[in-house]
Structure 1
Amino acid sequence: MTLTDQSTRIREGEELDPALIDPYLKARIPGLQGTPRISQFPGGASNLTYLIEYPQQEFVLRRPPFGHKTKSAHDMGREFRILNQLNAGFPYCPKAYVHCTDESVIGAEFYVMERVRGIILRADLPTGMSLDEQQARTLCHSFIDKLVELHSVDYEACGLADLGRPDGYVKRQVEGWCDRYEKAATPDAPGWEAVKTWLREKQPADHGKPAIIHNDYRFDNVILDPEGPLSIIGVLDWELTTLGDPLMDLGNTLAYWIQADDPAPVQLMRRQPSHLPGMLGRQAFADYYAERAGIDLPCIDFYYAYGLFRLAGIVQQIYYRYYHGQTQDKRFATFIQMNRLLERMSLNVIDQSRL
């Protein structure tokens, strides 16, 4: 079966010089020999991810994107710490080896972690992989179970009680994303005024006990066992992880979850095979999550609408860098259309909401 975490040629302007990184790693990781081969993973639109291949060992290097960086995002040291400490309670985090704060090495702070080899699902199943309806349902349940498991981790026992400020999390996120969206606005961006007003009016109190929340949990951030691809063996991309209301994390994941009966324009945004027969729809997804978490969740409208708005904020921040020439990555040229579509989706949720 094809492994879909395959690296490719490095995008123009995002090169990493082996002559700079090789001596740095050999001085800090015992036993490295030979000359590394460096390539880039194609996924992701925020932090840049590279594969470093030595003859006997493979690593993944993460660094911030070129160009505009928000104040709190792209904190390499924070992500490095999360990987090392959260593993004690959630053993799906890759092992992190090196954190470099000396920007003279590659021009930015970075960290290096182990490579977990496996299957990463993107928009469609990889070559050689097929799922019948029952298998897709099993995989979907496994995906949700891992999110529930993460939300039940004792973060104090992992030494992560200072990771975030969980009190008042819902309100702070709504206001924070309103502010971040406005700061990333470009002349061609939609205003989202009706949605922002609705989110401010309908926001609930924080739900239950705070939890470690991933904030970017989707299929292309989990690794499937190549020997048994219905099992998840790794979870990636911890840069946005914090402490807060787990239902807000659920809303973030639902925003990525394109189901089979979504209209054609929405299907064009799909980045994971959530449309396959057997995969749960968003409401059934939330119902299963609530059952496994042992909570009552009668309505997901606020959390889903929030997730869509937050996703639009992330999309707009990335588009801002492209609009102002801070990145040459052509993938980002269409992000303004995605932003507009997300606004229409949010307004549709509001129009049909029972809240």
Structure 2
Amino acid sequence: MEWSWTEADSDRLVAWLKARQLVPQDGRPVLKIIGEGHSNITTLVELGDSRLILRHQPVIRANAPDVLREARHIAKLNKAGALAPRVLAMAEAGEALAVPLYVMEHVPGIVVSGDLPEPLRQDPRGMAHAMIDALADLHGIDAAQITSRPLYDPEANRTHFAMMRGLIAKLDGHEGEALRAMAQQLDDRVPDAARQCVVHSDFRLGNLMWAPDLPPRLVTVLDWELSTTGDPRLDLGYFMIAYPAPGITRTPLQDLGRALYQADFPPISELLARYAGRTGRTLADLHWFAAFVAWKTAVFYVLSRQRGEDRYYDDDAHCRAFLGASADHLARRDK
């Protein structure tokens, strides 16, 4: 997402932060856009030893991710003991900027968004185990602390699938045809939903922050804008298409996490077995969930490209890769 701070917006934000005593009164904070997100903007606010993280929408638009919903959700996760940064303040549109925003604590650590750094490179198995353990622990949180909605609905996966299918019903061109053809294959034996838990919905290497020493240890999980409650296998399916696996088409999510190709990380089967042992869950139909999430992500990429708001989505090879991974996982469903 292309966006930059203007002097006027910076002045308004700094005044709002100082009025709430979130930054020192003396001096002017430095604002630096960070991260690799393609929807909401993340900014590091730095003044001396004081550091904060700001999240906001780039513009007001009907289909923009609700940044305040994200903040309220994280605040509930904070109370439930989830591994998430602490929310410090929120502002409606017009209070600090023309768009809504929230402020959270800065958690020091390493985000692996490029090559695999030292010393983490020395223990790829420890990293992989820490990743899947964090996902298992997130799924172990009592979701009743997060939502008042019913947590058991056997039809939830079919409802989710139907909603996504509706988004492409009138999509033109070869991509629309390809997405509808894959949807037809996914429609065969949609699994009943398991009891819902808190799902992150974007749990991958680039959204994790690591301690700077060994053994590998996560200090927080980032980017909760898509988090909700749902079947835990949706998160596992996403993790599967973001983690390298022989015989499965490489996805853009794996390109974002290219560090996973730079050391001897354990196979995905080892991590899924570890998750099952840690949670006690029965992991049926995981290849369907991986296929569904790959297809769903292709849908989002195509729709994002049509809106023309971020050049990251301009490459139509992204859609082909996700659909390739979806087909590969469906082919393994009955093996």
Shorter-normalised TM range = 0.7 to 0.9
Counterpart of 1:219 in structure 2: which amino acid? L
Residues 28 and 47, structure 2, Cα contact 8 Å, conserved in 1: yes
* Other-structure match for 1:20: 12
Counterpart mapping for 1:259-270 below 5 A: 259=245, 266=251, 269-270=254-255
Report the Cα offset of residue 298 of structure 1: 4.7
1:314 CA drift (Å): 2.4
Identity of matched residues, %: 24
**SS of residue in 2 equivalent to 1:314:** helix
Asked if 1:138 corresponds to 2:126, the answer is yes
Report the Cα distance in structure 2 between the residues aligned to 1:194 and 1:95, rounded to whole angstroms.
43
Give me the whole-angstrom Cα distance separating, in 1, the residues matched to 2:57 and 2:185: 33
Find the residue that maps to 1:131 and give its secondary structure. Answer: helix
Unaligned runs of at least 5 residues, structure 2: none
Shift of 1:181: 4.1
Which whole-Å CA distance do the structure 1 matches of 2:230 and 2:256 have between them?
26
Deviation string 1:64-118 (CA, Å, 9 cap, x unpaired) is 2447552xx6112221112222123234211111111133642211111111111
Aligned-residue CA RMSD in angstroms?
A: 2.6
- Aligned to 1:176, the other structure's residue is in SS state helix
SS of 1:230's partner is: coil
- Of 57, 65, 74, the residue aligned with 1:64 is 57
The 2-side partners of 1:131 and 1:31 are apart by 36
Q: Does 1:341 align with 2:327?
A: no
- AA partner of residue 311 (structure 2): K
Is 1:74 matched up with 2:65? yes
Long gaps (5+) in structure 1: 1-10
Tell me the CA shift for residue 148 of structure 1. 0.5
Q: Which has the higher helix share?
A: 2
Assess, with a 3 A threshold, how the Cα gap between structure 1 residues 164 and 255 changes in structure 2: closer, same or farther: farther
| Partner AA of 1:307 in structure 2 | V
Q: CA deviation at 1:210?
A: 1.7
Q: For residue 170 of structure 1, what is the amino acid of its counterpart?
A: N
Match of 2:30 among 30, 33, 37: 37
Residue of structure 2 equivalent to 1:203: 190
C-alpha displacement at 1:177, in angstroms?
1.7
Counterpart of 1:174 in structure 2 is: 161
CA contact (8 A) 2:44 2:52 kept: yes
Q: Does residue 282 in structure 1 map to residue 275 in structure 2?
A: no
Who is 1:114 aligned against? Answer: 105
TM-score of the superposed pair, with normalisation by structure 1: 0.83
Write the letter of the residue equivalent to 1:346: S
**Residue type matched to 1:99 in 2?**
M
CA gap 1:93/1:130 in 2 versus in 1, 3 angstroms: closer
Does the 8 Å contact 1:258/1:270 carry over to 2?
A: no
Paired residues for 1:274-353 under 5 Å: 274-322=260-308, 327=309, 329-334=310-315, 336-353=316-333
